[in-house]
């Protein structure tokens, strides 16, 4: 990482400074040539906007020892950090003034920069028939190469997860750090998401979710995608925040229509009145966004999945052989192998060797 990227990781770990002040300072400070330069310039700005700011304590954090300690902690927990200064930070988020400083990722980070992404959001209280439709849409889209982006709650989020998880084309956005994922409603699915798809958060592993994290988290869900499908929600639902962010970012908004008196769909009807696309068929989404739905069972592969599959086809059948052939780390390879197994493209024998199935 560059010195500036390292500084972002350290700054993001300064839990005693609110995000709004971090963003305010980063908008003013220029990229630095060293951690000391960043500490000096940013400390001056923080002291101007924060009362009783402890400049000495703040500066003492910015060194390679602190960075190495944080990075080792994250790696031990299977978390990869992508800062806004990294090349693979998603362009869709970088253009937003309220973008996260860092993304803490578990799983296939290549999904962040997929060309086709659609957010699917809905409330925990969603009608059974809507849950079924949502799962079907997520499945058909994801199997055609569209990455589904959603949260980690029950209801609409969970249906999107169920539909997309087997394809590997799924990003779930959490409002807490990796250490606290057991608190989430979909905890039984989280390991599957990490193993085969991607789970991200803007919070370091130790951070516990606060109520106000959830609406702010929704800007990431909306920002990552070309459009947002609203499947349910009453007028006070937190889903409204996702819609507002999508509109602010100039993204397309889609919604299922509901009958009169169905409160779990009041938000959907309202956003349709406000100009969102009414959805009664998957083509209502794909034609607007230019997504092509392939034949059933036709699944797109990521660049890494393609490289790994090619290596296996050429006779590289062990983990060590594949790592040497493809040139990736073991923690990147294992989720890829699992994804290919789920897609039934490879099979593992009792000796831990892989072979192509079709």
Strands 252-255 and 198-201: unpaired
pLDDT at 294: 64
Could you read off the pLDDT of 183-238 as tens digits, one per residue?
665 667 888 899 999 999 999 999 998 989 999 999 999 999 999 999 999 998 88
Using alpha carbons, select from 148, 165, 110, 93 the residue that is nearest to residue 282. 148
> In this predicted structure, what is the pLDDT of residue 36?
94
Q: How far is CA 305 from the centre of its chain?
A: 19
CATH numeric code, 303-356? 1.10.10.10
Q: For residue 103, how many C-alpha atoms fall within 13 Å in the half-sphere facing its CB?
A: 29
Contact call for residues 246 and 149 (beta carbons, < 8 A)? no
d(C-alpha 3, C-alpha 32), whole Å: 7
The reply to whether 303-356 shares the fold of 109-289 is no
What confidence score (pLDDT) does residue 226 get? 95
Q: How far is CA 346 from CA 63, 135, 191, 263, 339, in A?
A: 45, 25, 21, 46, 9
* CATH architecture, domain 109-289: 3-Layer(aba) Sandwich (3.40)
- Reported for 236-242, long-range contacts at CB under 8 A and 24+ positions apart, including other chains, are 237/123, 237/267, 238/123, 238/214, 239/121, 239/122, 239/123, 239/156, 239/267, 240/267, 241/215, 241/216, 242/119, 242/121, 242/218
Phi first, then psi: give them for residue 69, nearest 5 degrees. Answer: -65, -45
Residues sharing a CB contact under 8 Å with residue 105, sequence separation 6 or more, in sequence order: 79, 80, 81, 82, 112, 198, 199, 200
Say if CB 42 and CB 11 are below 8 A apart.
yes
Per-residue pLDDT of the chain (358 residues; tens, 9 = 90+): 899 999 999 999 999 999 999 999 998 987 788 999 999 999 999 999 999 999 999 999 999 999 999 999 999 999 999 999 999 999 999 999 999 999 999 999 999 999 999 999 999 888 888 999 999 999 999 999 999 999 998 889 999 999 999 999 999 999 999 988 866 656 678 888 999 999 999 999 999 989 899 999 999 999 999 999 999 999 988 899 999 999 999 999 999 999 888 899 999 999 999 999 999 899 999 999 999 876 544 566 788 888 999 999 988 889 999 999 999 888 788 878 877 876 678 888 878 889 887 5
pLDDT for 310: 92
Domain segments of the chain: what residues? 3-76, 109-289, 303-356
């Amino acid at each position: 990482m560059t010195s500036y990227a390292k500084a972002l990781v350290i700054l993001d770990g300064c839990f005693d400074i609110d995000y709004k002040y971090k963003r305010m300072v980063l908008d003013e400070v220029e990229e630095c040539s060293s951690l000391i330069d960043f500490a000096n310039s940013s400390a001056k700005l923080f002291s101007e906007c924060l009362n009783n700011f402890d400049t000495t304590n703040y500066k003492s954090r910015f060194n390679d020892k602190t960075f190495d300690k944080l990075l080792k902690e994250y790696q031990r927990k299977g978390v990869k950090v992508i800062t806004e200064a990294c090349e693979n930070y998603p362009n869709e988020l970088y253009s937003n003034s309220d973008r996260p400083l860092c993304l803490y990722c578990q799983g296939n980070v290549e999904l962040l920069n997929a060309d086709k992404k659609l957010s699917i959001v809905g409330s925990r209280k969603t009608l059974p028939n809507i849950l079924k439709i949502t799962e079907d849409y997520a499945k058909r889209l994801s199997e055609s190469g569209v990455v589904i982006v959603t949260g980690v709650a029950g209801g609409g989020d969970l249906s999107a997860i169920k539909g997309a998880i087997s394809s590997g084309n799924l990003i779930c956005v959490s409002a807490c750090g990796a250490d606290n994922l057991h608190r989430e409603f979909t905890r039984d699915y989280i390991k599957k998401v990490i193993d085969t798809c991607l789970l991200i958060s803007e919070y370091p592993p130790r951070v516990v979710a606060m109520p106000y994290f959830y609406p702010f988290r929704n800007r990431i869900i909306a920002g990552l995608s070309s459009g947002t499908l609203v499947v349910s929600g009453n007028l006070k639902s937190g889903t409204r925040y996702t819609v507002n962010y999508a509109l602010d970012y100039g993204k397309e908004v889609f919604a299922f229509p509901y009958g009169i008196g169905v409160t779990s769909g009041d938000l959907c009807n309202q956003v349709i009145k406000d100009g969102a696309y009414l959805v009664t068929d998957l083509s209502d989404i794909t034609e607007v966004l230019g997504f092509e739905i392939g034949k059933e069972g036709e699944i797109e592969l990521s660049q890494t999945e393609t490289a790994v599959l090619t290596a296996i086809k050429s006779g590289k059948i062990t983990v060590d052989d594949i790592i040497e052939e493809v040139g990736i780390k073991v923690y990147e390879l294992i989720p890829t192998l699992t994804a290919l197994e789920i897609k039934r493209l490879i099979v593992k024998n009792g000796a831990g060797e892989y072979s192509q199935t079709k």
